[in-house]
Chain A
Amino acid sequence: MANEPQKSDDNGQAAEAVVTDDEIVLQDQQLKTIEDEQKSVPLVATLAPFSILCAEYDNETSAAFLSKATELSEVYGEIRYIRGDGNCFYRAILVGLIEIMLKDRARLEKFIASSRDWTRTLVELGFPDWTCTDFCDFFIEFLEKIHSGVHTEEAVYTILNDDGSANYILMFFRLITSAFLKQNSEEYAPFIDEGMTVAQYCEQEIEPMWKDADHLAINSLIKAAGTRVRIEYMDRTAAPNGGWHYDIPSDDQQIAPEITLLYRPGHYDVIYKKDSTEASEIEN
């Protein structure tokens, strides 16, 4: 998923592609079809038993996936599907955090405070206009309404499934990812392809909507949001060190992750351990 700058030999001489009206119309239609298909599933689905994942595969066409799903179903009891619209990683983390905060008021208060800090940081880092802080304000207002009880759990999920509001909240997560990278630009610059600065990378890969999160974005968001995440891979080749899962941050493996994601090629969903109540009690 690394992003190599696409360079043609005569970059400077390249003329803008000549596109006809018909092509634009066709392309619009294709994009619309895909968007409609995406929108036919909820942004954030309700909890479903893990067995639903096993049912997606069969022994003939996808034996490897089936065996992995069956294996995971011994540890994980539930799954929450996230819409595959390019925002799934950011949304999965958002949902995972909100779920924790719905149960844990202290954590909620802490997160509101750190969100305010991020708002200030964004301004300091020179993010454009008032528009960036508007995303932050919207998110903080949402958290405060959870805190004051205006938003019930049911209302929270309604908002997380409303495209307008949910994406406005999601932008906060993209912005803090970008801000974290910019803050630590010296550390992360070597991981960005040649010819691009950290700022350019953020503007092209992190801040636009519907852009998939790559490893750099994943790492940054998890650190920026101050959480611990385990990613379970359905595909052994995708996991580092040939393992099945990967914990971020990877410094101290002793602490249990707060959020677990299931990675299938190009997509993330949130999954829950069978003894999730016990696990969260230990953490708290």
Chain B
Amino acid sequence: MSEQYNTKNAGVRRLMKEAMELRQPTEMYHAQPMEDNLFEWHFTIRGTLGTDFEGGIYHGRIIFPADYPMKPPNLILLTPNGRFELNKKVCLSISGYHPETWLPSWSIRTALLALIGFLPSTPGGALGSLDYPPKERQRLAKLSCEWKCKECGCVMKTALLPITEDGQLKQTEEAKTLAAQLKFQDESVVKKEVEAANNQKNPTETEPSEETSSVPTENVEESEEDADEREEGTTVNVNSSEVPDVAQPAVQPIRDPQPLVFQHHAPRLASTNFDYTLLYKIPVIALCFAIFFTLLARRFLVDNLTSPKDGSEL
């Protein structure tokens, strides 16, 4: 493969080194490039003990951007798992959806461990997430061992080293720590950076940045209705140019006694929030209708009592 690629290119060199690093399967993960493409890899990960994914072995693709490792890889799951949609990019803070939280010093290994750590987390409506009941996830975990990748032909039950208690514990710990370090930042952060980049590009002109910033602001407002307080909070920030760069402290997951359950995902809160808005929306709408009908009725009454012909002009 080395002949195909420009080994002077820093990204190619880096990917080749990572391929060497990950050549041997471990108990928890394995990843190797496709034979014909260094920028597409296939990976296999194991679900952690004590979760709905225990016993499950899952396969997927990693798609690298041309400027990896400056930009994050995209992870796509292929084995049914009940947590992430298949054939869709996984929305992790470490994946391509959140380029601003990716560090070039992270590696494919980091991404895989983070993915293992994220499997048992609560989806909270994140893109590409599924929230299957535990029983279904456990069923899928059992089935996953027989799953075979059509592209690379590897079968899950033989894709990783047999599991030992020790090895799994060590790597699970690492995955947990990693998952705890990572934080979710909502999409408006990216939009704000878009603005910032634009401002920077045109240090003396302000108009272009205003033009582009108006679009992201709209987006945020659209989603505001079914979103939560945090989204509303960031909307304000997007609008105000004076708010400094976002630095969401990663304190939250650390404070959490169980790092694997992400509070950022706010279990089931999105739906309760929606109920709250309905609580005031419905009475307001009802009130509007009441006023409307009252006025309408009055108009007809007035029409009938006074001259019917001039009534329409009142």
Task: For B110, list chain A residues within 8 Å (CB).
Answer: 128-129
In the complex, A8 has a CB within 8 A of chain B: yes
Task: For B101, list chain A residues within 8 Å (CB).
Answer: 204, 208
Task: For B263, list chain A residues within 8 Å (CB).
Answer: 12-13
- Check B266–A4 contact: CB distance below 8 A: no
- Check B190–A11 contact: CB distance below 8 A: no
In the complex, B105 has a CB within 8 A of chain A: yes
Choose, from A81-89, A90-98, A222-230, A275-283, the stretch at the interface: A81-89
List the count of A-B residue pairs having beta carbons below 8 Å apart. 222
Query: Which residues in chain A, 191-227, are within 8 Å of chain B measured between CB atoms?
Result: 193, 195-196, 200-201, 203-205, 207-212, 214
Once A10-B229, A14-B229, A204-B247 are accepted as A-B contacts, the answer to whether A134 and B14 lie under 8 Å apart by CB is yes
- Check A131–B106 contact: CB distance below 8 A: yes
Main secondary structure of the interface of B (DSSP, over half): helix
**For the complex, what is the distance from the CA of A201 to the CA of B247, rounded to whole Å?**
8
B: residues with CB less than 8 A from A are 8-11, 13-14, 17, 21, 67, 69-71, 97, 100-107, 109-110, 124-127, 181, 184, 186-188, 190-191, 193-194, 196-201, 203-204, 212, 215-216, 219, 223, 226-231, 233-234, 237, 243-252, 263-266, 269-270, 273
- Check B223–A127 contact: CB distance below 8 A: no
Once A26-B219, A62-B204 are accepted as A-B contacts, the answer to whether A6 and B124 lie under 8 Å apart by CB is no
- Check B247–A6 contact: CB distance below 8 A: yes
> Hey, what's the 0/1 contact readout for A251-271 against B, CB within 8 Å counting as 1?
000000000000011110000
In the complex, A231 has a CB within 8 A of chain B: no
Q: How far is the CB of B228 from chain A (nearest CB, A)?
A: 4
Task: For A1, list chain B residues within 8 Å (CB).
Answer: 244-245
Q: How far is the CB of A270 from chain B (nearest CB, A)?
A: 15
- Check B223–A18 contact: CB distance below 8 A: yes
> Hey, what's the 0/1 contact readout for A173-205 against B, CB within 8 Å counting as 1?
001000000000000000001011000110111
**For the complex, what is the distance from the CA of A175 to the CA of B252, rounded to whole Å?**
25
**For the complex, what is the distance from the CA of A21 to the CA of B102, rounded to whole Å?**
21
**For the complex, what is the distance from the CA of A115 to the CA of B102, rounded to whole Å?**
24
In the complex, A16 has a CB within 8 A of chain B: yes
Tell me how many residues of A have a C-beta within 8 Å of chain B.
Answer: 73
In the complex, A31 has a CB within 8 A of chain B: yes
- Check A12–B252 contact: CB distance below 8 A: yes
Task: For A200, list chain B residues within 8 Å (CB).
Answer: 249-250
Q: How far is the CB of B114 from chain A (nearest CB, A)?
A: 12
**For the complex, what is the distance from the CA of A193 to the CA of B251, rounded to whole Å?**
13
Task: For A204, list chain B residues within 8 Å (CB).
Answer: 101, 247-248, 250
Other-chain residue from A10, A19, A62, A171 in contact with B104 (beta carbon distance below 8 A): A171
Q: Which 7 A-B pairs have the closest CB atoms?
A: A14-B230, A168-B10, A15-B266, A8-B233, A17-B186, A266-B200, A264-B203
